[in-house]
Amino acid sequence: MSEVRRDPIIGRWVIVYKPENSLGPADYEKSVHTLKQGAVCQFCNGREAQTPPEVDAIRAGYAPNTPGWLARVVPNKFPALRIEGELNRRGNGVYDMSNGVGAHEVLVETPDHAKNFADYSLDEAVNVIKMYQSRSASLGRDKRFKYIMIFKNFGQSAGASVEHAHSQIIALPLVPKYVAEELEGAEKYYGFRGRCVFCDMIQQEYQDQRRIITSNDGFLSFCPFVPRYPFESWIFPKDHNSDFVSMQDLEREQLAGILKDVLLRMKICLSNPSYNFYLHVKPVDDDNKSYHWHIEIVPQLTRVAGFEWGTGFYVVRTAPSVAAEYLRGAIK
Amino acid sequence: MSEVRRDPIIGRWVIVYKPENSLGPADYEKSVHTLKQGAVCQFCNGREAQTPPEVDAIRAGYAPNTPGWLARVVPNKFPALRIEGELNRRGNGVYDMSNGVGAHEVLVETPDHAKNFADYSLDEAVNVIKMYQSRSASLGRDKRFKYIMIFKNFGQSAGASVEHAHSQIIALPLVPKYVAEELEGAEKYYGFRGRCVFCDMIQQEYQDQRRIITSNDGFLSFCPFVPRYPFESWIFPKDHNSDFVSMQDLEREQLAGILKDVLLRMKICLSNPSYNFYLHVKPVDDDNKSYHWHIEIVPQLTRVAGFEWGTGFYVVRTAPSVAAEYLRGAIK
């Protein structure tokens, strides 16, 4: 159904659908652009039979695939990568490629159809984090997978194609480029200075104060000094922490709280924007101690255009100190 | 007005506006999203006084900044980088930064207000290429600039904020990340195999045939084997060529012809899509012979979402061989 291909110049990996599964021009005109709204949502309570059987859930004593769940993970009906089969890595002239093997799951975060994460109860938010951890641990045991990527698209401008509150979990047969670059950069910095570059960054944010949005006992959120997008916001564990999966109850509540908090500030301050967030964690089976996991949140306020596509150089028209001031001011 | 900042982890450079020039939330809600259409266009013939004085033009014997031009280059009224001043590179804790010094120009491609490049006469298209070359040469003489980036945003989904047919030219104080990675990759391949990686890629496309869109005596266009976007299309000089600026009349006509041709195929096949294209050329003052300049064209059919933002790993739901088949079939 799909292949994983690597360009021979800069080492970018791409998942490409096979010809027989490819979308034609007409498919893009309507379906891809439009957020499906509607009375009949396959992710709502009572419609469990419309999804593939669940692979994980938080529910109070009912049978799997029946109503009454609080959060529910199901395989994506239209997965970018398929769970079956071997990778079969091979060359094709100047290119490298493999079969599109991986996992692509949907976490239905709450039965409440179109609820914004910003408006979740603390329990609802904690359930989401729990499922992130549980799927990461479970998929990480499959030896074919090198990286578990967790992300959320909220709203049409953020690329969401389904309205019901959900996240996606993709298990990849290799470590994606941006994460690999971060790991390499962090390792180099650690080798050179003996310190975690993210910890140094956090300390610099505390000293400067201007870009801090909010914090609690365990976590800090700030607008990064070198953002790619206006109002981009990051959340870090305050203390050095390279292991997302082993986080316990207290930290989980703290993380759920600050994530809700930052998203609510964005909702207030930016008029309920579309947004993406994603986790950057270390690869499966990597006990690299120099990495510091975190969440990056990107409200979708602008269109990335030719300059950014061509250069990887971003133009950000709101200084992060200004963005942080707005976000701080959104909730007093 | 702006600063250039570098993140200490993966080396990404970003242009960040200063607090006093920053956009607030309300600015994004309306202005940034919306393509300005309207009867009063500052780029139309007869409104030369509404732009800053032109820095270059193709005109048939009239005085600068008067009507009668065929193509016209003016400084951007709201530049991302300013032409005045020194870079003043400096550190700031873990970050590197410099002043936002550079050039940001607009090429008004034709007096014909909203004309699509796909519908240009050959002369109009040649004028655009001529201006690209002339501005590259001229800005390249300024010793502060390391790279001249040329790109076009057409249509609202491609991030265009002005309707009148135009391209943008940005002179940068450093080589942007994607280009630097391509240069490095090409150099490594050359060092290892003694051949240009792009030439090898072109040869592989000729052998395979399935991804070729069209060609003429000087240029080849194909859908790359490892695309980032559906219907992404590249244009390469057929023979190894590392110097865009020195191209002469015949090649210029060939390039103008194939660029028009590919854009017309996209217009027909994808229902007049928004698109971006940009040139990838070698840096100023670099006589690296292993690079092979080219144009990358990206029709905007989907929204990049959390997975791509977080990983740099793209999911492309149309196989390039299928895209090429549609584009070949658009004009028989």
Measured N-to-C along each axis, helices A320-330 and A249-269 cross at an angle, to the nearest 10 degrees, of 100
Residues B128 and B211 in one domain: no
CATH of the domain at A243: 3.30.428.10
Rounded average pLDDT over A1-18:
82
- Which of A284-293, B27-36, B88-97 is the least confident region? B27-36
Residues A143 and A209 in one domain: no
Q: How many alpha carbons lie under 13 Å from residue B265 in its C-beta half-sphere?
A: 27
Residues A237 and A167 in one domain: no
A189: nearest CB among B8, B301, B311: B8
Amino acid at A99: N
Whether pLDDT at A33 is above 80: no
Whether pLDDT at B158 is above 80: yes
Q: How far apart are CA A257 and CA A265, in angstroms?
A: 12
pLDDT-derived band at B38, boundaries 50, 70, 90:
low
Given a contact cutoff of 8 angstroms between Cβ atoms, the answer to whether A58 and A130 are in contact is yes
pLDDT-derived band at A1, boundaries 50, 70, 90:
confident
Rounded average pLDDT over A71-85:
91
pLDDT at residue B140, rounded to an integer: 95
Domain count, chain A: 2
pLDDT at residue A55, rounded to an integer: 96
Residues A21 and A167 in one domain: yes
Phi/psi for B237 (5° steps) reads -60, 135
- Side by side, the strands of the sheet bearing B233-237 are B56-59, B69-75, B103-108, B166-172, B147-154, B275-280, B294-299, B233-237, B219-222, B212-215
Residues A134 and A249 in one domain: no
Q: CA nearest A21: which of B322, B225, B330, B326?
A: B322
Residues B149 and B213 in one domain: no
Rounded average pLDDT over B36-65:
88
Rounded average pLDDT over B229-254:
95
Q: How far apart are CA A65 and CA A52, in angstroms?
A: 9
Residues B216 and B150 in one domain: no
pTM of structure: 0.92
Closest-CA residue of A relative to B204 is A93
Q: How far apart are CA A129 and CA A133, in angstroms?
A: 6
With an 8 Å Cβ cutoff, are B16 and A320 in contact?
yes
What's the ipTM?
A: 0.88
pLDDT-derived band at B150, boundaries 50, 70, 90:
very high
- DSSP secondary structure letter of residue B64: T
Closest-CA residue of A relative to B279 is A310
B177: nearest CB among A156, A312, A321: A312
Chain B partners of A276 at a C-beta cutoff of 8 Å? 305-306, 309-310
Contacts of B174 (CB under 8 A, 6+ apart): B4, B13, B146, B147
pLDDT-derived band at B313, boundaries 50, 70, 90:
confident
Residues B10 and B135 in one domain: yes
- Which of A65-69, B16-20, B233-237 is the least confident region? B16-20
pLDDT at residue B3, rounded to an integer: 85
Residue with tokens 């660029």: B259
Whether pLDDT at A199 is above 60: yes
pLDDT at residue B7, rounded to an integer: 79
Residues A204 and A318 in one domain: yes
Residue A171, both tokens: 């298990």
Structural domain that includes position B254: 178-330
Residue B13, both tokens: 């450079």
Residues A218 and A157 in one domain: no
Whether pLDDT at B33 is above 50: no
pLDDT at residue A35, rounded to an integer: 65
Residues B160 and B208 in one domain: no
Last residue of a domain, one of A140, A175, A210: A175
Whether pLDDT at B4 is above 80: yes
B314: nearest CB among A14, A160, A303: A14
Whether pLDDT at B31 is above 60: no
DSSP A119-136: G--HHHHHHHHHHHHHHH
Residues A288 and A312 in one domain: yes
Last residue of a domain, one of B129, B157, B176: B176
Last residue of a domain, one of B148, B176, B204: B176
